[in-house]
Amino acid sequence: MTEAAILCVDDETVILESLQEQISRHFGEQFLYEAAESAEEALEILEELNEEGVKTVVIVSDWLMPGMRGDEFLVQVYQQFGDITTIMLTGQADDAAIERARREANLYCCIHKPWREEELLKIMTTALESV
């Protein structure tokens, strides 16, 4: 069984499906692929994976989501899990939110929507090489 996971978080199903398809096509069976439609659901998934001994290595998260914004979510992830590489994928995050995520959540990169598949995969590949 794969012992590492990539988690995508976005409140838009079509975005989640697109991300998962692109990422899983590129990385194949190296990882488990999880998806969450909210930060709260993502935190539950992270807990479950952690309890099962599966290490989440990358999170790709939207910023503008109902309930909890992406920067708040990534700060919580960093405080609870510390060493997960985080990428914010957004069309609407303001500079202050991006800077907060960099400062308080060790944000690896911010990609603006609409993203280019090649750019996303290159960033993820580079991030995973340093894990």
pLDDT digits (tens, 9 = 90+) for 52-70: 999 999 999 999 999 999 9
Contact 50, 4 (CB under 8 A): no
Q: Which fold has domain 4-129?
A: Rossmann fold (3.40.50)
Average per-residue pLDDT for the chain: 94
Identify the residue whose tokens are 């069984």.
1
Check pLDDT > 70 for residue 89. yes
Enumerate the domain spans of the chain. 4-129
Predicted confidence at residue 2, as pLDDT, reads 62
Q: What amino acid is encoded at 111 in this protein?
A: I
Q: What value does the mean pLDDT take over residues 89-96?
A: 87
Q: Based on C-alpha coordinates, what's the Rg of the chain?
A: 13
pLDDT band with cut points at 50, 70 and 90 for residue 93: confident
Residues paired with residue 28 on neighbouring β-strands, in sequence order: none
pLDDT more than 70, % of the chain: 98
Query: Using H for helix, E for strand and C for coil, what is the string for the chain?
Result: CCCEEEEEECCCHHHHHHHHHHHHHHHHHHCEEEEECCHHHHHHHHHHHHHCCCEEEEEEECCCCCCCCHHHHHHHHHHHHCCCEEEEEECCCCHHHHHHHHHHHCCCEEEECCCCHHHHHHHHHHHHHCC
